[in-house]
Structure formats: C-alpha cells, structure tokens
Amino acid sequence: MFTILSRIFHFGFDNFRRNGWLSAATVAIMTLALLVFAGLIMFGVITNRAAASIQDKIDISVYFNTNTSEDEILNIRQSLQGLSEVSNVDYISRDKALDIFKTNHASDPTITQAINELSTNPLEASLNIKAKNPDQYAAIAQYLSSSDLSQYIDSVSYTQNQDIINRLAKIVKGVESGAIVVIIFLAFIAGLVVFNTIRLAIYSNRDEISIMRVVGASNSLVRGPYMVDGMICGAIAALVSIVIAAPITYFVSPYLNVFIPGLDIFQYFYTNIFQFFAYELLFGVVIGGLSSFIAVRKYLKN
C-alpha cells in the first residue's frame, strides 16, 4: 500500500511539473476563484458588522402611562428579559428622561425656560428593547400588545421603525443567500477549469495510460496521479491567494473604517489567517481533486 501511494504521489508531482503551462494556468484560475471566495468571506464580515452597527441604533421604545408604578414597569422589564428574542432592555425613568431632554436641548433657552416653568414632569417612563435579530422585533411587539401589558402602555415605537427593521432583515438574508450562490458558481467554474486541464493532460499522456492499462495497472493507480495533480494546483492556489489577499486587506482597511467605525478588516484577516488558509486549502484541494477524479473516471469509462 505504501509503495502504491508513493508512486501515485510521485507520478502526480511529475504530471504537475510536466504540464508546466497548463498547471500554471490552472493555478492562476483557481487563485482568482479563491480570491473571490476570500473576498466573499470578508464581505460577509463587513456586512455583518455594518448590520450590527445599524441594529445597535434600532430598538423598540415602550412608553408607559404616567400613572404606572415603577415596580410594575420593572416587572414588565423582567418578563421581557426572559424572552428568547430579547438581547437587552434598558429602563429610563421619568426623572432620567427629563434629564436627558434637558441635556439634549441645553442650547435652546426657550425650551429650557419652558421646562423650568412646568410644575410636574410631563415625560413618560420607557423601556428601550433590543432584539437579538432584526426579524424578531415583530414577535416582541406582539408580546407587548397583549391585554395584560397594554393597559400600562401608552405607545410603542415599533410601527415607526418597522420599515427600517424589515429592510435590514431582508438585506442580511439577501447577502447571505447571494454569497452562497456566488460560492457555488465559483466552485463550478474552478472545477470546470481543472476538469478541462486534466482532460488535456490525459490526452497528451494517452499512450502512457494505455500501456499502464495493458500491463494490468488498476484504475486507482491510473486515476491517483491526476487527482494528486489537481490537489497540488488547489493547494498552491490557496497559498498564492492568501499572499495576495494580505496586502489588499491592508490597503482597503482604512477606507472601510471610515464608513464602519471600529472595523479593522486587516486585523481580522491577520488574526484569522490560519483559519482563512484552512478554508482556502480545503476549497482548492476538494475542487481540484474532485474535478480530476471526474475527468479520469470519464476517460476510463470510454
């Protein structure tokens, strides 16, 4: 078994070396496919960070009637925190709401004077609710509309934010679905390139393969070297794509940080570089080996 495997790998490396330009062209095409694959992973990170940034600015504000006691509001807050859809619930008392209002309008003397002349606090206590996912706000709003809670609630801001929340949920789902489609398409293109390259290599070595079959070589011995050839192309393409992606992410990172504060895409890439290489290597080797297997299998059937 060890002898057979060593011969398969030896002939596989020979095929890669002898096919020179064909191997180089295959590596180049697979490198482009893997670069786009890495770009899609990065784009997914950027999109998720952007969506998270937008989601942090979206919440449901629940305003309570002025005669609702603080204990009742805190009980409602506790019940909301027990929901699986809820990420965080902030309580803003009437006094705190008034302080925030005064701070936000400190530069407007007319409003400041009007507030100071009021004998009572006109503002309502509220709860600011954040969901774990944008598409979960509808379930939270439905929970708040129950008869047990609605008697204490004056208004809920979900209807004002509903369009933004729904659009955000659609964008996140659309990007995820689109990325999967593109990855499948790229895998098909890369596999097709490797398939045709191996077919050309088989055609140029058809006499050698015929002799191997005449002397009794098994299909695995004939197929193995070409699969190794394809996997070598995929492995080299993975390494080259990582080397090319590193400087690209370095130069792009400052521009992305302007649009999405706190996002350092180069730091993310550098921190997860081995994970990126593992994904690229797996993608390249599987596509190269599988395409080679199909190409040789089709030839051996003829």
In DSSP notation, 172-239 reads: HHHHHHHHHHHHHHHHHHHHHHHHHHHHHHHHHTHHHHHHHHHTT--HHHHHHHHHHHHHHHHHHHHH
For position 300, what pLDDT does the model report? 65
- Classify 107 as helix, strand or coil: coil
Q: What is the Cα–Cα distance from 10 to 225, expressed in whole angstroms?
A: 8
Q: Which residue has the tokens 């011969």?
A: 7
DSSP 8-class letter at 28: H
Q: What is the Cα–Cα distance from 209 to 61, expressed in whole angstroms?
A: 73
Local confidence band at 242 (pLDDT 50, 70, 90 cut-offs): very high
Q: Structural domains in the chain?
A: 2-54+168-301 (no CATH), 59-161 (3.30.70.3040)
pTM value is: 0.61
The fraction of the chain above a pLDDT of 70, given in percent, is: 80
243-293 confidence digits (pLDDT tens):
999 899 889 888 887 777 777 888 888 888 998 899 889 988 888 788 777
Question: Average of pLDDT values for 196-204?
Answer: 70
| E-state strands within 43-170 | 60-64, 86-92, 126-131, 153-156
For position 239, what pLDDT does the model report? 92
Q: Are 291 and 233 in contact (CB under 8 A)?
A: no
- Look at residues 112, 120, 132 and name the one whose alpha carbon lies nearest to residue 66: 120
Q: What is the Cα–Cα distance from 289 to 194, expressed in whole angstroms?
A: 9
87-134 confidence digits (pLDDT tens):
889 999 888 888 888 888 778 787 777 777 777 778 888 998 988 877
Question: Average of pLDDT values for 157-184?
Answer: 70
For position 45, what pLDDT does the model report? 80
